[in-house]
Structure 1
Amino acid sequence: MELLERLVTVFAENGYFAVFIALLLCGAGVPLPEDITLVAGGVIAGLGYANVHRMFAVAMVGVLAGDSAMFLLGHHYGARIRQWRLVARLLTPERYAKVQQKFERYGNRLLFFARFLPGMRTAVYITAGSTHRVSFLRFFLLDGLAALISVPIWVYLGYFGADNHDWLAKWIRRGQNGLWVLFGIVIVVVLVLWWRHKRRTACASSDSR
């Protein structure tokens, strides 16, 4: 909670711009937890320093801009980006190999899963861009769908818990676990819808014969 309090102080003094810059840094792999940053943005809205709905919009733009920047840098510079000193620290040969294994296992769906993998997110986006595995539009859509799950949870959690730090700390811990549960539910729903669509298509094909 010490980091949260520091971020709240900085954000309260500097407003939306500070939140946006902090989220860009999160996207660039700076060791600043994105979830705590989003919660801090929600807290200052709850304390009256910002509008919570605008904060959500700013947070979405900041998150997507940071992620997109990493993807586009990788896409533009290709394998050369791994020679950059800062990127080399973030994307070590071991981590690069691990990301490649995950791509082999999950395919482009990893770009959706990556939002729920702190510590791996930036490495996944840079790798996806540098290997030209997916178009920018597909990346943006997958990342945007994942962000629509995680970003509002953290921002509005901070907003509703702004005046009760004990409650907020408890729900941050629960939220970090609960987000995985929600993520699992979304996956199950998507699979069920996909299965039903496939079944209807198969039935329609058999009826037309």
Structure 2
Amino acid sequence: MFPFFIHYISEFTYFGIFFVLLLCGLGLPLPEDIIIFTSGYLSYLGTIEPITAIFVNLIGILIGDLIIYGIGYYYGEQIFKFHFLKKIATDERLKKSKRFFDTHGKKAIFFGRFLMGLRAPLFLVAGITKFPFKIFFLMDLVAAVISVPILFSLSFYFGSHIEYALDILSSLQKIFFFIGFIIFFYIFWKGFKLIKQKNTK
């Protein structure tokens, strides 16, 4: 996958970075980490300019996240009128989701940014439950500002040892996913436990 994206980004440069990250934000099953990583490596090679590349990565990620949030916000529960979603998104579950975001929304958005596969549905539900836009954007921005420079710098500064950098990336992905999943699961469990306690009173 890495050689493919080297060729792709070399060919389409900043537009290519932006376009793929936008699709990743909309739920395309591609690891956005590898796009950021490849951008760093190509900056090391001098193919693209580092500061511009980091900026384009951030913008692509954030706009993709905002689109999926906006779809949820503006279309709301109408999304769940599709037959295959009706049984999953019951009224009771939507109410619980709303309470969950009211209680733990900030943490869920922040850590959700690091969880590939859960990110898109989480941000969609954030929009559906009308989680405040300003808070959503702030938490997503903070998480992106942390993750993007780290991944970019890894391949930029270790460009001469790219295989070693790829091994580090693979390890970081596993660590981030494991830690993020544990934290997210804990937040999710605590939130629904609190909701259950309120319902029994």
Q: Which category describes the TM-score, using the shorter chain as reference length? A: 0.7 to 0.9
CA distance 1:164–1:135, shift in 2 (3 Å): same
Structure 1 CA distance for aligned equivalents of residues 36 and 77 of structure 2? 32
Query: Aligned residue for 1:49?
Result: 47
Percent identity reads: 31
> Which of 119, 133, 136 matches 2:133?
136
Structure 2 CA distance for aligned equivalents of residues 47 and 80 of structure 1? 48
Pairwise CA RMSD: 2.9
Q: Deviations over 1:16-50 (max 9, x none)?
A: 11000010011000011011111111111111111
SS at match of 1:71: helix
CA distance 1:84–1:9, shift in 2 (3 Å): farther
2:32 equivalent to 1:34: yes
**TM-score normalised per structure 2:** 0.76
Query: Aligned residue for 1:152?
Result: 149
Query: Aligned residue for 1:117?
Result: 115
How far has the Cα of 1:84 moved from its partner? 6.2
Conservation of the 8 A alpha-carbon contact between 1:40 and 1:158: yes
CA distance 1:118–1:181, shift in 2 (3 Å): closer
The equivalences for 1:70-81 within 5 A come to: 70-81=68-79
Structure 2 gap segments, 5+ residues each: 181-201
Partner amino acid for 2:136? Answer: F
Structure 1 gap segments, 5+ residues each: 184-209
2:178 equivalent to 1:176: no
Structure 2 CA distance for aligned equivalents of residues 55 and 70 of structure 1? 23
Deviates more, 1:97-106 or 1:138-147: 97-106
CA distance 1:123–1:76, shift in 2 (3 Å): same
Query: Aligned residue for 1:23?
Result: 21
2:114 equivalent to 1:107: no
Query: Aligned residue for 1:162?
Result: 159
Query: Aligned residue for 2:193?
Result: none
**TM-score normalised per structure 1:** 0.73
CA distance 1:181–1:124, shift in 2 (3 Å): closer
The higher radius of gyration belongs to 1
Query: Aligned residue for 1:7?
Result: 5
Q: Deviations over 1:158-184 (max 9, x none)?
A: 22233323212221123224546998x
Structure 1 CA distance for aligned equivalents of residues 138 and 157 of structure 2? 29
How far has the Cα of 1:83 moved from its partner? 4.5
Kindly tell me the number of residue pairs found equivalent between the two proteins. Answer: 175
